[in-house]
């Protein structure tokens, strides 16, 4: 018998609040109307504090990868050199996007689960002095590690070198200070901490990034950010047909986020991450990202001899608790538990209890309730 109730603790998509679902269920409106313009303007204004910027935040009808591609094709021309940090599946994606647009992608390799050492970027800049941009993840979803964006901004701000950051699992999870950290492009997506279904890509550019985008004459159409800026900022609409329902849903989710207040949202994510870390350690398990674990998703190494993919499948199919295995070579070794967006600290008891049951069924021995007790103690200490 399939589970009657299901829980979603994957690194994305995440749960969508009932209020947001109801908002998206309202009758559709036409996108070239004052009503939609008002919705779009509110969304874009409400996004600025999450990005930590006074710049315009553009809403694209695309996944987060669409926003990543927009950053690539608006800021670089074919043949330009760019440095990208490859510390996981999505760092690797920066390299693939750069190559797809005929740019010279210069890789900085980081071991999966580790954080980038800023000295690696200093060395890469010396090795590739003609590089025009550095591409990096704030939070590498595939490895659950975060990279030192603020330190990278200190390196790039005094050079003719743009800093482009994938914030898909960091925006709305922990503080982003795009302007203060000298980030030139910050991208995100709707299906993570913003508590929506997939389908919206978000991007903000710095002043010098806009200067670069306006100066470039490279071919681009749907992802022409200069055209999109004119439409959204000046004409209060979108250049092309938007995902109307998702924009309305985003307005509601941002309302919920701001009502909770950003400091409280960030503290909640931090508490949930700490609770999961405590639970994993109580089971004698190790975190994959030891140096700088992400507050939005935790990677737990499966016990020796245990297939992580099978544990994940049992949790999902038999217990109704959705988590995610690792990607590529980590598929059988890593269990990723997402705790971002519409998730409360008490939900971590469900996630860790299901993990206990699944591990026990796979023959892993531990003291029953060890993880659940650790989560309870963390929550009690934070009350």
Tokens of 336: 């990723």
Question: What end-to-end distance do the CA atoms of the chain give, in Å?
Answer: 38
- Provide the residue-wise pLDDT of the chain in tens; the chain has 383 residues: 678 899 999 999 999 999 999 999 999 999 999 999 999 999 999 999 999 999 999 999 999 999 999 999 999 999 999 999 999 999 999 999 999 999 999 999 999 999 999 999 999 999 999 999 999 999 999 999 999 999 999 999 999 999 999 999 999 999 999 999 999 999 999 999 999 999 999 999 999 999 999 999 899 999 999 999 999 999 999 999 999 999 999 999 999 999 999 999 999 999 999 999 999 999 999 999 988 999 999 999 999 999 999 999 999 999 999 999 999 999 999 999 999 999 999 999 999 999 999 999 999 999 999 999 999 999 999 86
Phi, psi of 268 (to 5 degrees): -65, -45
Biggest CA–CA distance in the chain, Å, is: 63
- Residue identified by tokens 């920066």 is 94
Whether residue 22 is contained in a domain is answered as no
Residue after which a domain boundary falls, among 237, 258, 279: 258
Phi, psi of 232 (to 5 degrees): -80, -40
Specify whether 201 is located in the same domain as 299.
no
Whole-structure pTM value = 0.97
Q: How far apart are CA 194 and CA 229, in angstroms?
A: 22
- For the domain that residue 307 is a member of, what is the CATH number? 3.90.1150.10
Q: Which domain holds residue 266?
A: 7-13+262-382
Specify whether 189 is located in the same domain as 88.
yes
Whether residue 336 is contained in a domain is answered as yes
Number of separate domains in the chain: 2
Whether residue 21 is contained in a domain is answered as no
Specify whether 242 is located in the same domain as 375.
no
Do the Cβ atoms of 298 and 276 come closer than 8 Å? yes
Do the Cβ atoms of 194 and 250 come closer than 8 Å? yes
- For the domain that residue 253 is a member of, what is the CATH number? 3.40.640.10
Specify whether 249 is located in the same domain as 367.
no
Integer-rounded Cα Rg, in Å, for the chain is: 21
pLDDT, tens digit, 9 for 90 and up, residues 164-180: 999 999 999 999 999 99
Do the Cβ atoms of 104 and 79 come closer than 8 Å? yes
């Amino acid at each position: 018998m399939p589970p009657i109730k299901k829980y979603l603790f994957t690194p994305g998509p995440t749960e969508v609040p009932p209020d947001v679902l109801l908002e998206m269920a309202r009758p559709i409106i036409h996108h070239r109307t004052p009503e939609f313009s008002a919705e779009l303007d509110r969304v874009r204004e409400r996004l600025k504090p999450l990005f930590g910027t006074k710049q315009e935040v553009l809403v694209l009808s695309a996944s987060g990868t669409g926003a990543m591609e927009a950053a690539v094709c608006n800021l670089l021309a074919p043949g330009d050199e760019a440095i990208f940090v490859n510390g996981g599946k999505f760092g690797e994606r920066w390299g693939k996007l750069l190559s797809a647009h005929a740019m010279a992608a210069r890789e900085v390799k980081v071991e999966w689960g580790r954080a980038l050492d800023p000295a690696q970027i200093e060395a890469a800049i010396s090795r590739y002095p003609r590089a025009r941009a550095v591409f990096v993840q704030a939070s590498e979803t595939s490895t659950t590690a975060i990279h030192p964006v603020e330190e990278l901004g200190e390196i790039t701000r005094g050079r003719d070198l743009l800093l482009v950051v994938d914030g898909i699992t960091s925006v709305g999870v922990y503080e982003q200070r795009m302007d203060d950290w000298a980030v030139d492009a910050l991208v995100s997506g709707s299906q993570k901490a913003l508590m929506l279904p997939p389908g919206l890509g978000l991007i903000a550019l710095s002043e010098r990034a806009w200067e670069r985008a306006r100066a470039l004459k490279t071919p681009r159409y749907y992802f022409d950010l200069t055209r999109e800026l004119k439409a959204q900022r000046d004409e209060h609409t979108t250049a092309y047909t938007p995902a109307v329902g998702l924009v309305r849903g985003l307005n509601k989710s941002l309302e919920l986020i701001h009502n909770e207040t950003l400091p409280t949202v960030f503290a909640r994510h931090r508490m949930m991450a700490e609770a999961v870390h405590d639970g994993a350690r109580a089971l004698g398990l190790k975190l994959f990202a030891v140096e700088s674990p992400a507050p939005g998703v935790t990677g737990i190494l499966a016990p020796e001899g245990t297939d992580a993919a099978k544990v994940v499948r049992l949790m999902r199919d038999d217990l109704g608790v959705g988590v995610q295995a690792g990607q590529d070579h980590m598929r059988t070794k890593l269990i990723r538990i997402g705790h971002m967006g519409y998730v409360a600290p008490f939900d971590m008891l469900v996630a860790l209890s299901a993990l206990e049951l699944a591990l026990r069924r796979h023959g892993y021995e531990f003291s029953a309730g060890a993880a659940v007790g650790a989560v309870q103690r963390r929550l009690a200490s934070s009350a």
